[in-house]
Amino acid sequence: MQQDIYKVMSVFGQADSGYRNEGTGIGLPLSKKLVELMGGTFNIKSEAKLGTTITLNFFYEEQTCEDLIDF
């Protein structure tokens, strides 16, 4: 399954070309790009018979209540 990550991270890619899933194959690549544009990181790990884990990390400055009220 780890070898299929390259396939699903390419635009219009699907892990198994013999099985037609509904969907265009742009969801994961688009999500990764959006996360990176916001300064975050996108990691994906997949293991057969265990599943797939996608981790998104975003970095932000801590805000106080006063900062939010001025917004």
Average pLDDT over residues 38-51: 87
Residue 7 backbone phi and psi in degrees, to 5 = -65, -45
pTM of the entire predicted model: 0.58
CA distances from 20 to 8, 23, 26, 32 (A): 13, 9, 14, 23
Task: List the helix and strand counts (H, then E) for the chain.
Answer: 3, 2
Beta bridge partners of 54: 44
Domains within the chain, CATH numbers bracketed: 2-70 (3.30.565.10)
What is the predicted pLDDT for the residue at 61?
82
Give the separation between CA 64 and CA 67, rounded to whole angstroms: 5
- pLDDT (mean) for 27-49: 88
| pLDDT score of 1 | 53
* 57 band by pLDDT with thresholds 50, 70 and 90: very high
Task: Answer whether residue 36 shows pLDDT above 70.
Answer: yes
